[in-house]
Amino acid sequence: MTFREVPANVDFIAQEYEILRFWKETHAFEAMRELHRGQPTWSFIDGPITANNPMGVHHGWGRTYKDLFNRFWTMRGRELRYQNGFDCQGLWVEVEVEKELGFKSKRDIEAYGLDRFVRKCKERVLRYAAVQTEQSIRLGYWMDWNDPDQLRWLADLIVEDPSRVITVQGPLGPVTDTVEQIVARLGMPELGGSYFTFSDENNHMIWTFLKKCWQKGWLYRGADVMPWCPRCATGISQHEIVTDGYVEMTHPGVTLRFPLRNRPGESLLVWTTTPWTLTSNVAAAVGPALTYVKLRHNGEILYLSKGTLHMLKGPYEILAEMPGSALEGWTYEGPFDELEAARMPGGYPEQEELIRDIKESACDAHRVILWDEVGETEGTGVVHIAPGCGAEDFQLAKQHRLPMIAPLDEEGYFTAHFDWLSGKHVTEVREMIFEHLRHKGILYDVSSYVHRYPVCWRCKTELVFRLVDEWFISMGPVYDKPREALSKEEKERSLRYQIMDIVSQIRWIPEFGYAREMDWLYNMHDWMISKKRYWGLALPFWSCPQCGHYEVIGDEFELEARAAAGWEEFAGHTPHRPYIDAVKIRCPRCQELMSRIPDVGNPWLDAGIVSFSTLRYRSDREYWRKWYPAHWISESFPGQFRNWFYSLLAMATVLENSPPFLQNFGYATLLAEDGRPMHKSWGNAIEFNDAADKMGVDVMRWLYCSQKPDQNLLFGYRRADETRRRFLIPLWNAYNFLVTYARLDQWEPATDGFDPAQPEGALPQTETLLDRWILARINQIVGRCTEALENSDAYTATVLIEEFLDDLTNWYVRRSRRRFWKSEHDADKKDAYATLYYVLVRLVRLLAPFTPFVTEAMYQNLVREVHPQAYNSVHHTSWPLADVAAVDEHLLKRMELARRVASLGLGARGSANIKVRQPLQKALVYLSDASMASMMDDAMRAIIVDELNVKSLEIVSDESTLVRYQVLPDNKLLGPRFGAVFPKVRAALMAANTKEIVQQVRNGFPISLVVDGETVQLSPEEIIVQTQPAAGLSVAAEKGITVAVDTVITAELRAEGLAREIVRRIQTQRKDAGFNIEDRITTYFIADGELAKVVHEWADYIKAETLTVSLIPGQPPHEAFVQQHAIEGMPITLGLHRR
RNA sequence: GGGCCUGUAGCUCAGUCGGUUAGAGCAUCCCUCUGAUAAGGGGAAGGUCACUAGUUCGAGUCUAGUCAGGCCCA
C-alpha cells in the first residue's frame, strides 16, 4: 500500500465538490457527532440568520468563525449541539413577500387574505432556509442541517395544502402531522435540524417571558409619538432607527409668521422643515435663557432670537432685546385655525384618554411656552410645537397640559376634520400648504435645507412622527450615580442595571464590546415590542372593549384553558394571525369577551428567546441546564449590541437573572476591496456562490481567519489570489513533494501502534538537525495555536501557521531535497520521510478546522491510503497535543541564526553580482557576541556553506577587515543617569576616538570623557559598539552579524561553475522532453574548448546529477531530444535519450 | 452636540516598557535559483509616522488641541 499519485496542478474547487460528496456519502458529520457523544459539553448557540435572501459573503465570514471554533472544540473532545438557526418572523419577510406579490400597501395584504399572506411568508422563509442551508454546506459549515429538498417540499405544501397529513423521518423515528404542524415543529427534538423562530415553541416561550414581565410590572401599553413608516404602516423602534435609519436629505425649510393676538402688526417668526405638522400646531416654544429681539423689517414687527438674525432677508432695525422668558404666555394666531381639528376641545388624538380633562382647543391654546432645549443652530429660536407630530412636542404637551392633534392615519393620509387636506397624503400636500400660507399672508420664506432624516430601514420611505399607542418593556430609571452605589431596591426597580450586572459576568472579545453594551444599556429607552403588522409573534395581550382591562397569556395551555370563544376556529393552527385572533377570553372584571390586540411582536424577541426555546427550557429542564449558558456566541458587532446581544441579555435577565452566554466574540464589517460597502449598483458586490466557486471556500475561509476580527475586512478576488498563493499552493506543493518521492521509493509510514485519533504517530527519532528543527517548530506552533484558539484568536493562529509553512517549504523541504532525491535507501532518507510525514499529518490536523477541504484531501491520501484502521475523515481525529520535549529552543535559535547568516551571504553575493551557481572559495562571518558565535557549530556551518555555495566558512574574530565601528551611548542607561546633560555626553562620546574606545570597551575598561570641563566615567556596559560593513567589500550586515564572500574565482571554481550550468541545462531539457524524474538517460554532447574540457573533468558529477548513464561526445541520434545552448557565449549541443 | 476608535511606504497593515538605523506582505524595477514551481531567493526604490503645541536627555509611542475618516449615541 502506498499513496495515490497527486496532481501538481490540482483543481481545488472541483476537489471541494468531491469532498462534499464524500462527506455526504460517508455520513462524516454524523460519525463525528457519535465519536463525541457523552463528552463534556461546549455550548454554542448560533444567532439566527434571517432566512429571507441568499447568504452573502459577510455571512461567510461569521460562519467560518463559528465552524472553526466548533471544529476546534470538537477535536478537543467536547460534545456540541451543532444547531443552526433561522430568523423567520417580522417586517423584513413581509416586505419581500409584498414585493413578490406586487403589493403596495396594507390594504393589498388584507384583500389578499391574512391566512394566505402568512403562508406566503412561511413559504419564503422555508425556501431561503433551503438556499442558505446549501450555501452553508458548501462553505463546509458542519451543522445538523435539514435536507434542503425537504424544506422546499414543505414550502410547496404550506402554500398548497397546509392541512395535509404527512410523515417525515426524525432522529427518533417517523413523525406524522399536518404540514402546518410539521413546519411549526422544525428544529424540535423529534424532527432535529435547524431551529426556526416561527416555531410554536419559540412563540410560546416568548409568551412566557412577556407574562413574567407583566407580573413584574415591566410591561405596559403607552402612548407616544414614534417614528412611523407610512408605507409599512407601522412604528419603527429605536433599535431599528439608530444606525441604518438616517439618510442625508434636502427638505424645504419654511419660515413663517405667527401673528401675535394682542399686538397688531407684530409676529413671531417660526421655522420648520415639516410643513405638514403646521396643520397641528398647538404652541410655540422659546428658550428662556436665549436673547430675543424685536425688530422692524419690511414694515412689520418680528420677534426672533438674536443668534438667528441671519435668517432675515434684507435690512432690519432692532427695536428691543429681551430674554425668552419675557415672551412666555403671549398668544398668537395659528396657521390652520380654521380647521375643525384645531377647534375641537382637547384636540384630536386617537387616544381619548390623553385629553380626558383638557377642555381647550388647539386654537384656544396657542401661546408661547418656555423650553430649555430651544437652540439657535437652526431656525429662528421660536419652535413650532405640534404635540401629535413630534416626540418632544408630545412630552411638552403633557407637561403643559396642552391639547394634541394627530393628523395622519396609519398610511400617512390626513384624517377627517382637516377640511381640504382630509384624504390627502402627507407626501403630496407640501405645495398646497405653502400656497395656503402665502394666501394667508404669513409665509416668509422657503429655502432648501440639508439634514439627516430618518427613513424606514427596510423600504427607505421617509418616516413621519405619529402619536400612537404601543407596547413597551420598561427599562427602569437611570440613576445619577454609579452602578456600584445603587441599593438593592433601586436595582430591583431598574431592569437596565440588572442586565448590566449580567453583562459584567461575560467575557467580551474585543474588549471594547463590554463598554459598547454598557453604553447601550445606559442610553436605551423603553423597549418598544409591538408592531402593527401581520407576520410575526402574536403578542399575547387581550383587551376588554368594555372596561379597557388587559390580560397577558403565558402559554398555549393557559390560552386553551381560558378560551371562551373561537377555539375551534384556531385549533390546529400555529399561534399566528389570523387564527389566533379568533380566540376570545372572558374579562375577569366585567365578564365581557376580550380580543387579542392585533399587534405582532418585535423580531428581536424571537431571536433573544433562543437560549431558552431551543434548549428545551419548558419541556426538559435538565437538558436546558446541560447546555445553558452558551460558552460562546459570535456575531458581527455593528448592530448586535442593541439587537441580538441585547435581547438575549434582557430575556435571560428577566427569566433567570443569569448570563445567557459566557463569551462573546465580535467581528467587524465586511467591505468590498475598494473599501466601500458592497453594492450591486456599484459593481463591487460579490455573491457568495460566485466567491465560493471562483476562489474556493478553503481560500475564503483562510482569508477570513487571517483577518484581525476587530478591523473591517476588505474582501475580493485579488486578496483571494494572494491568499491562495501565499498559503494554499505552498501547502499543496509540500504535500505533493512528499507523495511524489514516497511513491518512487515505495516508502510508507510505520503502522505499529497506530492510533486513529493521532494518526501521525509518535515523534520520529532522528539525529539530523534539520529534522529535529522542523519537529521542534511544528510542536512549537501546535502549542501556540492551541492557546490562541482557546482565546478565540484565529488571527494569531493563522500568522503562526503561515510562518511555519514558510519554514517548511522554503527551508526544510528545500534544504532536504537531496535527501529524498538520492538513490541510497539509508537511514538518513528514512528519517527525512518519517519527519516530513509526521510534520505534514500533524499540520493537516492543525489546519483541519480552518480549511476542512484541502486537509481532508491530504488526509485521505496520507493517512487513509496507508492505514486501514484510520478514521474515515480528518475531522474525526483529535486535536494535536504539543510534544513539549520536541521543542528544542536552543536549536530553534541556532537555525534562525544560520538562516540570517545565509540570507546575508546571499546578499553579499548579490552585491558582487556573482550567481549562486558559481562556487566561491569562502565566506567570512563575524558575529558580535560570543553567544551567537557559540551557536555556530559544524551542522550550522554545513548548512550555510551549502546554501551559499562556498567551499568553506570562516568565523573571524578580528572583524576589522570586514567592518568599521560606530560607538553609541546606551540611551536607556545613560539618559536617566545624566538627564539634561545627556546630549553633551553623547556629543563627547561621538567626538572621541572610536578605535580607542572600542579597544577599551572590549577589554572591559571604563571610558573617561570631559564634559563641561568635568571628567565623567562611563562603564563598558553603558556603551554600545556597532559594526557596519566596511565600504567596497562584498559584505552584508545586520544587527551584530557581518558576512563577506571571497569574490576571487579561480580556474577550478570557474570550471565547477560551468559544470553546474551544464547540469542545470540538462535538467531543464529533461523536463522539456517530458521525462519522468526517475528516468535514466543517455546524454550526447557537442562542445569544444573550455566547455569540452569541463564536461570531461566533471563527467561523474554531471552523470550523477542528471541520472545520465553514459555521457557520449558527438552527434546525438535522431530519437534523442536535442537542444542548442550557449553558455557565456560558448555553444554546446545537448541530446537526451531515455533508456 | 457627546462618547469611542483610527490616521505609519502606491495599497493592506505590524510597530512590545518612550530608547539607538520605523518594519512586513502586495504592487514596481533589477538580479537570481529551480525536477515541490499557478513557486522561491537577494537587492533597489518607496516615509514630513495626518498637523500643531507640550512633557522628556530622548516621542511613531505619552498629553492637549486641530484636521480627516469610521463606529456608537443624542
More confident call, A810 vs A488: A488
A764 prior amide bond cis, ω within 30: no
Sign of the Cα pseudo-torsion (A754, A759, A765, A766, in order): positive
Q: Is any atom of nucleic acid chain B found less than 7 Å from the CB of residue A391? A: no
Nearest nucleotide by C1' position to the A377 CA atom: B1
What grid cell was written down for A927? Answer: 558575529
Nearest to A853 by CA among A67, A36, A82: A67
Highest mean pLDDT among A118-132, A797-811, A1002-1016: A118-132
Q: Which amino acid is it at A175?
A: V
- Å from A971 (CA) to B52 (C1')? 28
Q: Name the closest nucleotide to A737, judged by C1' and CA.
A: B36
- pLDDT higher than threshold 90 for residue A79: yes
Which nucleotide is closest, CA of A910 to its C1'? B42
- Positive or negative, the CA dihedral A666, A669, A673, A679 is positive
Q: Which nucleotide has its C1' atom closest to residue A673's CA?
A: B12
Q: How far is the CA of A729 from the C1' of B38 (A)?
A: 8
Nearest nucleotide (CA of A808 to C1'): B36
Bigger pLDDT: A173 or A1138?
Answer: A173
Cα–Cα distances (Å) from A676 to A203, A712, A923, A1039, in that order, read 38, 10, 52, 42
- Show the DSSP H helices in A170-242 as ranges: 179-184, 200-216, 238-241
Cβ atoms A143, A136 nearer than 8 A = yes
Spell out the residues 6+ positions from residue A290 whose beta carbon is closer than 8 angstroms to its own. Answer: A305, A306, A307, A323, A324, A374, A376, A381
How far apart CA A1120 and CA A1134 sit, in angstroms, is 9
Other CB atoms within a 10 A radius of the CB of residue A1098 amount to 19
Does the nearest atom of strand B lie within 7 Å of A263's Cβ? no
What DSSP element (H or E) covers A125?
helix A114-139
CA separation, residue A223 to residues A395, A396, A398 (Å) = 11, 14, 11
Strand B contact residues in chain A (825-864), C-beta within 7 Å? none
Question: How many whole angstroms separate alpha carbon A1086 and alpha carbon A54?
Answer: 67
pLDDT in tens, A523-563: 888 888 998 889 999 999 999 999 889 999 999 999 999 99
pLDDT at residue A576 greater than cutoff 60: yes
- Assign domain A963-1029 one CATH number from 1.10.3470, 3.30.565, 3.30.720, 3.30.310: 3.30.720
pLDDT of A985 reads 83
Which pLDDT belongs to residue A983?
80
% chain A with pLDDT above 70: 97
- Which of A202, A225, A179 has its CA nearest to residue A394? A225
- Which contiguous run of DSSP H or E holds residue A1067? helix A1051-1073
| Residue A9 contacts strand B, CB under 7 A | yes
Q: How far is A1056 from A1051, CA to CA, in rounded Å?
A: 9
Residue A246 dihedral angles phi and psi, to the nearest 5°: -105, 135
Amino acid A717 CA to nucleotide B28 C1' distance, rounded Å = 21
Do residues A586 and A564 make contact, with C-beta atoms less than 8 angstroms apart? yes
Q: Estimate in Å the CA A803 to C1' B24 gap, whole number.
A: 12
Q: Give residues 13-42 of chain A lying near strand B (Cβ < 7 A).
A: none
DSSP code at position A532: S
Nearest nucleotide over every DNA/RNA strand to the A1067 CA, judged by C1': B35
Per the structure, the residues numbered 1005 to 1024 in protein chain A that have their CB within 7 angstroms of any atom of strand B are 1024
Greater confidence (A614 vs A454) lies with A614
Q: Which positions 941-970 on chain A have a beta carbon less than 7 angstroms from any atom of strand B?
A: 966, 968-970
Cell of A502: 449580567
- Residues of A from 185 to 224 whose C-beta is within 7 A of strand B: which are they? none
- Cα distance from N-terminal residue to C-terminal residue, chain A: 28
A611 CA, B41 C1': Å apart:
55
From the alpha carbon of A642, which nucleotide's C1' atom is closest? B72
Average pLDDT score, chain A: 88
CB proximity A236–strand B (7 Å threshold): no
| Choice between A1107 and A143, residue whose per-residue pLDDT is larger | A143
Q: How many CB atoms lie within 10 A of CB A1016?
A: 19
Is any atom of strand B within 7 angstroms of residue A737's beta carbon?
yes
The nucleotide closest to A1074 (CA, C1' atoms): B35
Q: Is the pLDDT score of A980 beyond 60?
A: yes
Task: Please report the pLDDT score of residue A1033 as a whole number.
Answer: 47
Q: What 3-state DSSP class applies to A60? A: helix
DSSP, collapsed to helix, strand or coil, labels residue A145 as coil
Measured in angstroms, what separates residue A60's CA from nucleotide B11's C1'?
Answer: 25
Distance, CA of A516 to C1' of B4, in Å: 9
Residue A569: band (very low, low, confident or very high) from pLDDT cuts 50, 70, 90 = very high
CA–CA distance, A360 with A282 (Å, rounded to integer): 10
Cβ of A1047 near strand B (under 7 Å)? The reply is no
Domain A251-450 CATH class label: alpha beta
Q: What's the mean pLDDT in A812-841?
A: 86
Distant-in-sequence, close-in-space partners of A983: CB < 8 Å, separation ≥ 6: none
Q: Is the ipTM of this complex over 0.85?
A: no
Q: Which residue is nearest to nucleotide B6 (CA to C1')?
A: A711
The cell for A45 is: 448557540
**Residue partners of A329: CB distance under 8 A and separation at least 6:** A367, A368
Q: How many CB atoms lie within 10 A of CB A712?
A: 15
Where is pLDDT greater, at A599 or A1000?
Answer: A599
* CA A911 to C1' B29, whole Å: 16
Query: Over 90: is that where the pLDDT of A609 sits?
Result: yes
Rounded to whole angstroms, the distance from the CA of residue A722 to the C1' of nucleotide B26 is 8
CB-based contact A997:A989 (threshold 8 Å):
yes
Question: CA dist A604 to A93, A520, A527, A542, A573, Å?
Answer: 14, 15, 10, 22, 23
Contact A124, A96 (CB under 8 A): yes
User: Using the CB atom, is residue A243 less than 7 Å from strand B?
Assistant: yes
Listed as ranges, the nucleotides of chain B within 7 A of a protein C-beta are 1, 3-5, 12-14, 19-21, 25-26, 31-43, 56-58, 70-74
Which residues, other chains included, contact A503 with Cβ-Cβ below 8 Å and sequence gap of 6+?
A514, A517, A518, A521, A649, A659
User: How far is Cα A565 from Cα A578, in angstroms, rounded to an integer?
Assistant: 15
Helical (H) or strand (E) element with A1009: strand A1007-1011
Q: Report the share of chain A in percent with pLDDT over 90.
A: 44
Query: Would you say the C-beta of A7 is within 7 Å of strand B?
Result: no
C-alpha cell at A193: 435540524
Alpha-carbon distance A70 to A48, whole Å?
A: 16
**Strand B lies under 7 A from the Cβ of residue A740:** yes
Tell whether the model's pLDDT for residue A1 goes beyond 70. no
Nucleotide nearest to A915 (CA to C1'): B32
Residues 609-668 of A with CB under 7 A from strand B: 638-639, 641-642
DSSP notation for A649-702 = HHHHHHHHSS-SBSEEEEE--EEETTSSPP-GGGT---BHHHHHHHH-HHHHHH
Query: What are A919-952's pLDDT values in tens digits?
Result: 888 888 887 777 777 788 888 888 888 888 888 8
Cα angle: A777, vertex A781, A786; to 5 degrees: 155
Q: How far is the CA of A785 from the C1' of B34 (A)?
A: 33
A733 touches strand B (CB under 7 A): yes
C-alpha distance from residue A1026 to each of A548, A925, A999, A1038 (Å)? 89, 15, 13, 10
How far does the CA of A1029 sit from the C1' of B25, in Å?
A: 28
* The predicted structure's pLDDT at residue A201: 97
* Nearest nucleotide over every DNA/RNA strand to the A1071 CA, judged by C1': B35
Q: Is the dihedral of CA A43, A49, A55, A61 positive or negative?
A: negative
Segment A286-320, tens digit of pLDDT: 988 889 999 999 989 999 998 888 888 889 999 99
Residue A340 and residue A332: Cα distance in Å, rounded?
18
Cα A434 to Cα A298, A437, A440, distances in angstroms? 20, 5, 10
In angstroms, the CA of A517 and the C1' of B60 are apart by 32
Strands (DSSP E) found in A816-955:
920-927, 950-955
At residue A903, the pLDDT reads 78
**Average pLDDT in the A1020-1049 region?**
68
Name every residue whose Cβ is closer than 8 Å to that of residue A996 and which is 6 or more positions away in sequence. none
DSSP 3-state assignment of A139? helix
Nearest-angstrom CA–CA distance, A193 and A29: 13
Placement of cell 568553506 in the chain: A952
Determine the pLDDT at residue A811. 84
A1068 touches strand B (CB under 7 A): yes
Element (H, E) at A261: none
Q: How far is the CA of A1037 from the C1' of B28 (A)?
A: 26
Residue A875: pLDDT band (50, 70, 90) is: very high
For position A1104, what pLDDT does the model report?
A: 84
Residues in chain A: 1139
Mean pLDDT of A724-745: 88
How far, in Å, is the CA of A983 from the C1' of nucleotide B64?
A: 27
Nearest protein residue, CA measured to C1' of B11: A674
What CA–CA distance (Å, rounded) separates A307 from A289?
12
Mean pLDDT of A963-982: 80
| Closest nucleotide to the alpha carbon of A677, via C1' | B70
Q: Tens digit of pLDDT for each residue in A759-780? A: 999 999 998 888 999 999 999 9
| Identity of the amino acid at A1085 | F
Task: Return the DSSP state at A860.
Answer: I
Q: Give the separation between CA A486 and CA A952, rounded to whole angstroms.
A: 78
Check: CB of residue A1114 under 8 Å from CB of residue A1092: no
CA distances from A439 to A335, A443, A480 (A): 11, 8, 51
For range A369-391, the mean pLDDT: 86
> Which architecture does CATH list for A1051-1138?
2-Layer Sandwich (3.30)
Instruction: Identify the three-state secondary structure at position A251.
Output: strand
Q: Which three cell numbers stand for residue A1069?
A: 531539457
Phi, psi (deg, nearest 5) at residue A724: -60, -40
Per-position DSSP letters for A869-897, written without gaps between them = TS-SSGGGSPPPPP-GGG--HHHHHHHHH
Cell (9 digits) for A952: 568553506
A525 touches strand B (CB under 7 A): yes
Q: Work out if A608's Cβ lies within 7 angstroms of strand B.
A: no
CA of A710 to C1' of B4 (A): 14
**Which pLDDT does position A242 carry in this prediction?**
54
Helix axes A688-695, A57-75, angle to 10 degrees: 60
Q: Which three cell numbers stand for residue A462?
A: 421617509
How many CA atoms, within 13 angstroms, populate the side-chain half-sphere of residue A683?
Answer: 0
Determine the distance between A238 (CA) and B2 (C1') in angstroms. Answer: 18
The confidence band for A954, taking pLDDT boundaries of 50, 70 and 90, is: confident
Q: What is the per-residue pLDDT across A226-241, written as a single tens digit (0 to 9) for each?
A: 888 888 888 877 666 6
A685, A671 in Cβ contact below 8 A? no
Q: Nearest nucleotide (C1') to the CA of residue A696?
A: B38
- Least confident span in A363-372, A578-587, A1010-1019: A1010-1019
**Rounded mean pLDDT, A630-638:** 88
Indicate if the pLDDT at residue A1032 is higher than 70: no
Give me the helices (H) in A401-547, please.
430-440, 488-493, 495-503, 512-523
